[in-house]
Chains A and B, each alone.
Chain A
Amino acid sequence: MSDQHVNPVEPYLRMDRMPHIWCPGCGIGIVVNCFVRALNQSGIDADTLAVVSGIGCTGRFAGYINLDSFHTTHGRPIPFATGLKIAKPELKVLVFSGEGDLVSIGGNHLIHAARRNSDIKVFCVNNFTYAMTGGQVGPTAPVHSIATTTPYGAYDRPFNLPFLADSTGAVYVARWTTYHVRQLTRSMVEALNKPGFCFVEIITPCPTIYQRRNRLGDGLEAMRYYKRFSKVINGANTRMVGLELKGPIIVGKFIDRDRPTLLEAMNDEFSSKLGAKYKPYPTGVSR
């Protein structure tokens, strides 16, 4: 047992910014681990990747990762990523952000990017709260959960994220928890290599706020809960995977289908109408 062998994650981290700000028992660091291992496994040249994130705890992901990275405004990493991909299609553009950022303020952008099959990979870390700002209610907070802006318990029905992504047209939809490290890594590899709008929900403990305010224990308790109450059902009907405060968690790869990406569809349409007058725009996809 010595200190000599370098942690495989370190070459991908901005080590001059460590330690990170995430709390003890927060799962976002696990997402980093899975991502780095997925990068290694996929064989993709890290220089051809760009990471875009929004605002929030997960939004800090872009700042710690040693790749071309962009920390944008709240709710808007997806349209930024779409613009970046369109300008430089040979890039692989990844979005890492929280559920509040992507689904609440960013909800409109999420559904349109899925509809268009914008060729970006979205990793949505779901900790059921707006943690960075002190724990306000989020769009996936289960009914009866306590938050600073729902002190008597949340009463809105939460989003079922895999169903949302599926129904708006995402070609790859999966959900894992930070307990499912190997499956999550595999999903990331698949998403990285799959053309089109890919959406992976990653359920993560927020021990300091969500767990504590809802008397769900610490990070370890959350992970034990994920281990005990998750059911892997690949190909599950996404309508049926909604979550409750203390219910089962259906995880798995739910959707894996194919259709033309935004740029491919654009080329198809323009070529058929304009013929030789139109020179197809590079799509960054090799099928």
Chain B
Amino acid sequence: MNDSLLKKHLNLYSEQLKSRRLWNILIFTIFVLSFFISSSIIDFNLSKIIEGFPRLGDYIVKILPNIDYNLIFENSKTEGSIKYWYFNFKKYAALLYETFNMAILSTLMGFIFALLLSFLSAKNITPNIYSYHLVKRFLEFLRGVPEIIFAILFVWALGVGPLAGIIAITIHTTGALGKLFSEVHENADLKTCEAIRSHGGNWASEMRYGIIPKVLPNIISYALLRFEINIRASTVIGFVGAGGIGQELYLVINFNYYEEVSAIILLIVLTVITIDILSGRIRQKVIGEMGD
């Protein structure tokens, strides 16, 4: 390679390096600036962390159960056994069951509403463009507001209890699933619909026989994914009085029944993980069996 060519390339390289360095410095400064601005806004400093962590440690030690490994299988009267820790197990199980049912009901209702609205908000199959924009904005609003805010509203209107939570989660689910479903519809092949139209089918039968069979596996797998999310949501929506095990957890935390806190949290984590695994299996099966 001759010298001048090498020089040219070296110059080009160093120029590129320079501009890249400039960009990196700029981005770095922006990061540092926003770091300091945010820390000053939320009052983030080291002394607070140093002060707070021992208290956090104390709290965690307090809520952890006092289990004695020699007495672990004793009855519920002996301190140190699992039965003593979970003396309230029947109540928890009933509440977990209620939470599970809340998630089921709100997922199913949200699924139905979302499916009905998604045909209107999919660009390729919507009957007219106004309903498309209207429904799309409506769904955006439904999923934009956090479900716990809806829950507070419905606790005002319907009173304390699972009903408020169910309606709140249903609303959020409708918004979230409606968007996903209409995206699935938008990716669907429309040839079947054309065939149905050419045989004199109306819009409803186009949707029923042309779209649904094609999108069903995807839709069901999205609904299952939403069910997992709703299980999580319904465990915490009780914090505002909207039913489920969250209501009990909030109570227990506020009354400082320390060991019950860890008992309930452990149950929630186990439930969430179990349902995630089960529903993941089913999802794979649904996609595998109906996908082709």
Q: Do A and B come from one complex?
A: no
Chain A interfacial positions (CB closer than 8 Å to B) = none
Chain B interfacial positions (CB closer than 8 Å to A) = none
